[in-house]
Amino acid sequence: MLVKTIVYHEQFVKAFRKLPPDKQKQAIKSEKLFRLNPLHPSLRLHRISPEAHDIWSISATSSLRILFKRMPDATIFFLKIGSHNVYRNL
């Protein structure tokens, strides 16, 4: 998986700002790792399902997920961040 650039959905930005500082730091660390090596095992990258509009997930912590969509030009669109509840209403 190639990561050309990451774009942030407004919903992602709002949720990120509400996270406690330690979770924000971990999310930033995970994003940096994702940019360098999106297939790193600690990210636990997986596609949620084809039915979910080709949305993917990485783990920032054991309880924090980042949901994203891959665009044809290798742009990554970060959609949501949060606990497992982010899987609802996809």
Provide the 8-state DSSP code for 89: T
Q: Which helix (H) or strand (E) holds 83?
A: none
12-62: pLDDT as tens digits: 999 999 999 999 999 999 999 999 999 999 999 999 876 667 899 999 999
Q: At residue 90, does pLDDT exceed 80?
A: no
pTM of the model as a whole: 0.89
Yes or no: say if 90 and 49 are a contact pair by the CB < 8 Å rule.
Answer: no
Q: At residue 9, does pLDDT exceed 90?
A: yes
